[in-house]
Structure 1
């Protein structure tokens, strides 16, 4: 099953198109993002059937690229196969300029998010592609909403998601338009 989604930034200056394909054994997300300012990038995230991230690639237009792989249990490697111990224990990936990556822990944990759940993310900033260990928390709220917390910065948002766990509204940042 393949579906397409689109988000626009709240200020209207950025746009994302996502092709999401879910097969029996793999989930593949391929997105193209035009950021606010002089930045555009493509990403590809592959997950196993349980929504555990297995690989991520990000390619900035006219610039850098990054490839990361993980065993799905928190051990990460770069594109050359070198271990990335600073990411040990990170369960998911969070790319700074897309709301799609919020779907990963929502789908992977499902009903476990009824309680506030703290997670470690491999956070990729765009366009510099620096990768940091980022503590975050998710809590399921009523009516298809989740509280998202970036624990290292104090940022919080209440995300509205659809029945598939994809963001419809990320207040102040993104709104789904297709």
Structure 2
């Protein structure tokens, strides 16, 4: 088990997470205290770093959940209609989910790839499909959201876990 903590530069919230790695499954569980609001995130991840299940709670009430069945997602038990096969999620309040496509790319030796992503907007309590591109450079990984034209230069450790997400998140453990 690996303990991970992130500091949210914008809100001051601290995320405390545990990453459990095994040959058949990866599990990430974290808690985020933001003022009087308490969030819990649980993600079940395949060995190739693709996601097959997630749950986000706010003050113990489930606000977003998802489960992948073959190539289809069920979000809050409702089918997500799309022609694209979506393997990764991006949760707005944690940089950990950027780790998922990064580690997938490390395993496949890709240098640049665009992914359809399931973006989970925790504030709005909704899921949307977006497209994100990750490009490996010598000292950083360039992250780009193709719909919003937002980009940032992420720094990761030797395990592909985000260490620095400038002006948004900083890893403290």
TM-score, with length taken from structure 1: 0.88
Report the Cα offset of residue 104 of structure 1. 0.5
Change (3 A) 1:26 1:62: closer
Picking from 124, 130, 136, the partner of 1:128 is 124
Measured in 2, the distance between the counterparts of 1:3 and 1:59 equals 22
Measured in 2, the distance between the counterparts of 1:123 and 1:146 equals 19
Picking from 134, 153, 161, the partner of 1:166 is 161
Q: Number of residues paired by the alignment? A: 172
Measured in 2, the distance between the counterparts of 1:11 and 1:59 equals 21
Runs of 4+ in 1 over 3 A off after TM superposition: 37-40
* Partner secondary structure for residue 105 of structure 1: helix
Measured in 1, the distance between the counterparts of 2:66 and 2:60 equals 20
Give the structure 2 partner of residue 177 of structure 1.
Answer: 172
Alpha-carbon contact 2:18-2:29 (below 8 Å) kept: yes
Measured in 2, the distance between the counterparts of 1:33 and 1:74 equals 30
* Partner secondary structure for residue 54 of structure 1: strand
Report the Cα offset of residue 8 of structure 1. 0.6
Picking from 151, 155, 171, the partner of 2:150 is 155
Q: CA RMSD in A?
A: 1.9
Q: Which runs of 5+ in 1 are unaligned?
A: none
* Partner secondary structure for residue 113 of structure 1: coil
Measured in 2, the distance between the counterparts of 1:132 and 1:17 equals 25
Give the structure 1 partner of residue 115 of structure 2.
Answer: 119
Give the structure 1 partner of residue 18 of structure 2.
Answer: 19
Report the Cα offset of residue 108 of structure 1. 1.5
